Amino acid sequence: MAAIVLRFYLAVAVLAAEGHQVKVSDLYAMNFKAVTDDETSPIENGVQAAYPVKDWLTRV
C-alpha cells in the first residue's frame, strides 16, 4: 500500500514539475458514487435513458 501512495505522489510531483496543473480530490469525502443509478443516470424527455452513460456522453 505504501508503494502505491509513493507512486501517486511521485506522479503528482512529476506532472507539476513539467508545468501541468494537478488537482487532487478526496472522492470519498465528496461522497463520490462509482456506479450509475436512478439519481445519476441521464434523463431524456423525463424518461431515464436505457443506454450506458458512455453512449450518452458521446451524444452530448
Average pLDDT, the chain: 77
- The grid cell for 55 is 453512449
Query: What is the pLDDT confidence band of residue 11, given thresholds at 50, 70 and 90?
Result: very high
DSSP SS3 for 30: coil
24 vs 34, higher pLDDT? 24
The rounded distance, in Å, linking the Cα atoms of 10 and 6 is 6
Ranked by mean pLDDT, which of 3-12, 30-39, 42-51 comes out on top?
Answer: 3-12
- What is residue 52's predicted lDDT score, i.e. its pLDDT? 59
Residue 28: pLDDT over 70: yes
Residue 9: pLDDT over 80: yes
- What is residue 12's predicted lDDT score, i.e. its pLDDT? 94
Q: Which residues pair with 47 in a beta bridge?
A: 44
Q: What are the boundaries of each domain within the chain?
A: 25-60
